Structures are given as C-alpha cells and as structure tokens.
Amino acid sequence: MDRRPWTSPCGVARLASVLLGVAALLAADHGADGSRRFRTDFLQELPTPGTGPHFDTSVPGNVTGLVGKTAYLNCRVKNLGNRTVSWVRHRDIHLLTVGRYTYTSDQRFEAIHSPHTEDWTLRIRYPQKKDSGIYECQISTTPPIGHPVYLTVVEPITEILGGPDLFINKGSTINLTCMVLYAPEPPPAMLWSHNREVINFDSPRGGISLVTEKGPVTTSRLLIQKAISADTGLYTCDPSNANPASVRVHILNGEHPAAMHHGRGCTRRGPALRALAGVVVVLGLVSRV
C-alpha cells in the first residue's frame, strides 16, 4: 500500500483542491485577510511538480575524441539536492564513477566536479578507438534517471590528394599535397621521402621546396619543378604523430595515362581473350553442322 498518496501528481492536485476548499472556509469565517494569510503561509510552501533533479539537455550529447588526447564527457544536472551523480559505461554496464569518486581500476577514467556547480564530468585520459560508445550519466533517484553521451574516438588520418597514382608530364611541376586530420596536435615534423630515401632539399637537383601549414588540419605541400624521368617513383609523407601515406608518381614523356593503364591491363585480359576465341571456334563448328 502506498503510504505517500500525496507525492504523485494526481495526489498533489487532490491535496491542492482540498486546501483551496479549506481556504474558502477560512475566508468565509475570517474574511479576506484570513484567505490571504493562508495562501502566504501555507500554499506557497507546497512543492511544484517537475522541480526535482533533471538534466540540462542543451549540453552536447555527442563528443568526438582523438586517440591519445584526453576526452571530457560533461553532464549538467539541475536541482540535484541530496542525490548523487554517477557515470556508467553501456558496453559492459561498468560503474565508472560515483559523485567525485572513481570506482574503476582503469586509471584513465576520473570523475571531475567543482563544488557548488552543476557540471559532472568524466575525464578519459589516453582514449583509444575501443573506448567509443555510449556513456550514461545517472542521477540516484528511485528509479534512477539517465542521460546518454555518445563518444566517438577517431585516430589521425594521413592522405595525399590525388593518389594512389599521379601522372605528370615531363617538364611540369610535381605538386604533392599531404593532409593530416584528427591529430591530437599539429605534427611537430613532416618528412617526405622518395623511393624510401628522405628528400634532400639542398641536393644538386634543385627546384624542390616544401610549404607546411599547421592547424586542426595540417597540410604539407611538396613542389618539384621541371619534372624529369628520375623523379618517377614512390613519394611518402610521414608525419611525426600519425601514420604515413604514399603516392606513386609517373613522369610521362608524351604518353597518355590511359594508354599506360591499358598496357598494364593487357596481360590480365589474356586468358579472357583466349576463352573468347575458343567460343568463336565452337560457334563456327556449330554453324557448319
């Protein structure tokens, strides 16, 4: 049996109706002053439905973290009162934090909360891609209420525009642009190599320059003027904090790229052509029957 019938919304409404009836009786017995005093001293102390603990849903619920860079998952709770806030990982229903205390043996996770604030933060040091998933911020009501935060951990990506093959006319400028995305910080160094040998910008060949712009997306542009046949080969861009990327450059001396592709593909089509020739022979024999 429910011993607290007035705690439900319907119960509060019924209680308010009863009290208003009492106010009317008091007003009849004591006039307007009695009714005004009743409203001031009693009715204003009644709890207003919907003012219990709840989440501020304006806080972003999707967080993108970078591999190796500390990630912060924030939860803002209004009217917490004497309740506590916990963080739970959905993947394995693992309790990570309760209040300002960390309950997991994984020391990468930590609860952060400043007194007298509404923000309860889960800090994840050195996140990996496997840490991606749903984390739920919970309030210890009965039953508990939760708010999910989706964490996506991405790793740095290195790519060279136009790859994996580039065809350059002899005498033209080779322009290779390497981009590094999702790095925890701009790469301290960007090395370029040609056929696995680091490019020497002071070599007698000359005409080689490098322009690097660092930022959320770091770009490194390798320029080689007046391309010659010796410039053919594999070029690799190797950021110091991300995986390398490569592109193969072909220097054309009057050839057409499509013709080069066609030439490489002939050997693969040989068996198919022989099979087709066999079909033609068979069809010829059938036509003679």
Task: Name which of 94, 90, 112 is nearest 103 in CA terms.
Answer: 94
At the top level of CATH, the class of 157-252 is mainly beta
Q: What pLDDT, on the 0 to 100 scale, is given for residue 274?
A: 40
pLDDT band at 6 (very low <50, low <70, confident <90, very high): very low
Q: What pLDDT, on the 0 to 100 scale, is given for residue 280?
A: 33
CA 8 from centre of chain: 41
Q: What pLDDT, on the 0 to 100 scale, is given for residue 22?
A: 40
Q: What pLDDT, on the 0 to 100 scale, is given for residue 88?
A: 96
Q: What pLDDT, on the 0 to 100 scale, is given for residue 213?
A: 92
- Mean pLDDT, rounded, for 192-214: 90
Q: What pLDDT, on the 0 to 100 scale, is given for residue 200?
A: 86
- Mean pLDDT, rounded, for 130-141: 95
| pLDDT single digits (tens) 96-120 | 999 999 989 999 999 999 988 999 9
* 174, amino acid identity: I
| pLDDT single digits (tens) 157-188 | 999 998 899 999 999 999 999 999 988 788 88
Q: What pLDDT, on the 0 to 100 scale, is given for residue 38?
A: 41
Averaged pLDDT score across all residues of the chain: 77
Contact 223, 233 (CB under 8 A): no
Let me know if domain 54-154 sits in CATH 2.60.40.10. yes
Give this prediction's pTM: 0.55
| pLDDT single digits (tens) 238-289 | 998 888 999 999 999 876 655 444 333 333 334 433 433 343 333 343 334 3
Rounded distance, CA 144 to CA 159, Å? 46
Rounded distance, CA 210 to CA 228, Å? 18
Boundaries of every domain in the chain:
9-45, 54-154, 157-252
CA 161 from centre of chain: 23
54-154 and 157-252 share one CATH topology? Answer: yes
| pLDDT single digits (tens) 7-26 | 444 444 454 444 444 444 44
Produce one character per residue of 253-276: b if its CB has 16 or more CB atoms within 10 Å, e if not: eeeeeeeeeeeeeeeeeeeeeeee
Contact 224, 207 (CB under 8 A): yes
The CA distances from residue 79 to 21, 49, 59, 142, 261, in Å, are 31, 13, 16, 15, 68
Q: What is the DSSP string of 108-129?
A: TEEEE--TT-SEEEEEESS--G
Residues β-bridged to residue 198: 193
Rounded distance, CA 25 to CA 27, Å? 5
